[in-house]
Amino acid sequence: MTLSIVARDVRTGQMGVAVLTGYLAVGQKVPWVEPGVGAVATQAITEASYGPETLDLLRLGTDPRGVLSDLLDADPLRESRQVGVVDQAGRTAAHTGGECITAAGHAVGEGVVAMANMVGADGAWNTMLDAYEMADGALTDRLHDAVIAGHRAGGDLRGSTSAAILTVSGDPGEPPWSRLVDLRVDDHPDPVDELSRLLRLHGMYALMGEGINAIYAGRHDQARSALHAAVEHELGDVQAGFWRAVAAFSAGDTDAAESLLVEATGGDPAWRLLWERLGSAGRGGLEPPTS
């Protein structure tokens, strides 16, 4: 029913899961990740409890193989389960039950497990593993590349409707709810392309967030640079343009602020009202520019 990949980046310690399926809202039950602890994907006849229960035991330092063995021993439906686990040390465990619908299987590499069931081509999991190991860049991008490769190698026999990607820091000092990327496509005719779009959009929002934070920290050059990049991004939008105007105003460049505000918003009164409310709320000392 599903293909997924669970991995720890050996360079950064980041961990994550990417998953694609022909069922609604796959991100709700399959991927489970906690900073500094581990990552889990539970699928086939999905038992969501494998996620939090595995993380609880990994947090105590238990080896992933021991964790998974204990959970499977207690599960009467273990032959219908498919589970992959990676911990913060890069140790792995994987299980594909004998009753998982073919083609079904998994492949294990250094700090990575690729899995698939009910896919159109035998060995799609090996294709995913190869794609992950050959990919460059951030963990999120490598997981994404692997899912695309699995999709192209056969994918879900029913077609795909939902996808998700979840990554976290490897720092055990991060709170358990901290996320680097947490994106979901719940119901879409082309969830692979939509997930790709959302990842690009996430990049734009990361630039915008950097710029907004820099405004309020008084780092004016950084704010203007990040927000300029957000506007110029392929998915840059009116909000990025609005905050670029705010950055200019905060840096004392009032003439540029007015021009940028009009350029971004086209004089939309809702954005002009937001500008005024930022000032009245004491956000950045804004005053409404003259029309």
Task: Kindly state whether residues 79 and 210 are assigned to the same domain.
Answer: no
In a domain, 146, yes or no: yes
For 269, the enclosing helix (H) or strand (E) is helix 269-280
Task: Kindly state whether residues 73 and 42 are assigned to the same domain.
Answer: yes
Task: Kindly state whether residues 182 and 222 are assigned to the same domain.
Answer: no
Task: Kindly state whether residues 25 and 157 are assigned to the same domain.
Answer: yes
Question: Cα separations (Å) of 222 from 257, 264, 287?
Answer: 16, 20, 22
What one-character DSSP code corresponds to residue 156? B
Task: Kindly state whether residues 167 and 219 are assigned to the same domain.
Answer: no
Domain that holds residue 91: 2-189
> Given this model, what pLDDT does residue 283 score?
53
Burial 31-62 (b: 16+ CB within 10 A, else e): bbbbbbbbbbbbbbbbbeebbebbbebbbeee
39, 32 Cβ separation under 8 angstroms: yes
Query: Helix (H, G, I), strand (E, B), or coil: what is residue 172?
Result: coil
Task: Kindly state whether residues 146 and 269 are assigned to the same domain.
Answer: no
Q: How many domains does the chain have?
A: 2
The CA distance from 153 to 123, in Å, is 8
Beta strands in the chain, from DSSP E residues, in sequence order: 2-8, 15-21, 31-34, 38-44, 81-87, 92-96, 105-109, 112-117, 162-168, 181-185
What is the number of alpha carbons within 13 Å of residue 104 lying toward its C-beta? 21
**Torsion angles phi and psi, residue 43, rounded to 5:** -150, -160
> Given this model, what pLDDT does residue 47 score?
97
In a domain, 233, yes or no: yes
> Given this model, what pLDDT does residue 280 score?
61
> Given this model, what pLDDT does residue 276 score?
87
Task: Kindly state whether residues 152 and 13 are assigned to the same domain.
Answer: yes
Task: Kindly state whether residues 50 and 17 are assigned to the same domain.
Answer: yes
251, 286 Cβ separation under 8 angstroms: no
Q: Is 17 exposed, middle or buried (0-12, 13-18, 19+ CB in 10 A)?
A: buried
CATH of the domain at 222: 1.25.40
> Given this model, what pLDDT does residue 158 score?
87
17, 166 Cβ separation under 8 angstroms: yes
Which of 66, 13, 64 minimizes the C-alpha distance to 35?
13
> Given this model, what pLDDT does residue 290 score?
42
- pLDDT profile of the chain (291 residues), mean per 10: 94 97 96 98 97 97 97 98 98 98 97 96 96 96 97 87 97 95 97 97 98 94 98 98 95 93 94 86 49 38
The CA distance from 133 to 176, in Å, is 27
> Given this model, what pLDDT does residue 287 score?
52
Task: Kindly state whether residues 167 and 215 are assigned to the same domain.
Answer: no
pTM, two decimal places = 0.92
The CA distance from 191 to 280, in Å, is 42
Cβ-based neighbour number of residue 235 at 10 Å = 14
68, 85 Cβ separation under 8 angstroms: yes
Peptide bond before residue 206 is cis, with ω within 30 degrees of 0: no
Task: Kindly state whether residues 169 and 244 are assigned to the same domain.
Answer: no
- Kind of pairing between the strands at 38-44 and 31-34: antiparallel
